[in-house]
Amino acid sequence: MKLSIPELNCGHCQASVTAALAPLATGIAVDLPARQVTVQGAPDTAAVLAALSAIGFPAQVLAE
């Protein structure tokens, strides 16, 4: 799953997003300059979006 996270703009943001998604995914790759995150495994889309929203990083799904 590939996500766009417009508020993702620094290393601290990257660490927060990674920590929030770690319990939900088998792999997380953050592309900080593009403000995108790729989540590997078969995570529940709603759970991923809710986890990100809960920490102040609303996201949009670019690809499942």
CATH number of domain containing 35: 3.30.70.100
Total number of domains constituting the chain? 1
pLDDT at 21: 95
State the residue range of the domain holding 14.
2-63
Per-residue model confidence as pLDDT tens digits over 10-60? 999 999 999 999 999 989 999 999 999 999 987 899 999 999 999 999 999
Largest Cα–Cα separation, the chain: 27
Residues 7/58, Cβ–Cβ less than 8 Å: yes
Specify the residue for token string 């499942």: 64
pLDDT at 43: 82
Count CB-CB contacts under 10 A for residue 27.
10
Q: Which 3 state secondary structure label does DSSP give 23?
A: coil
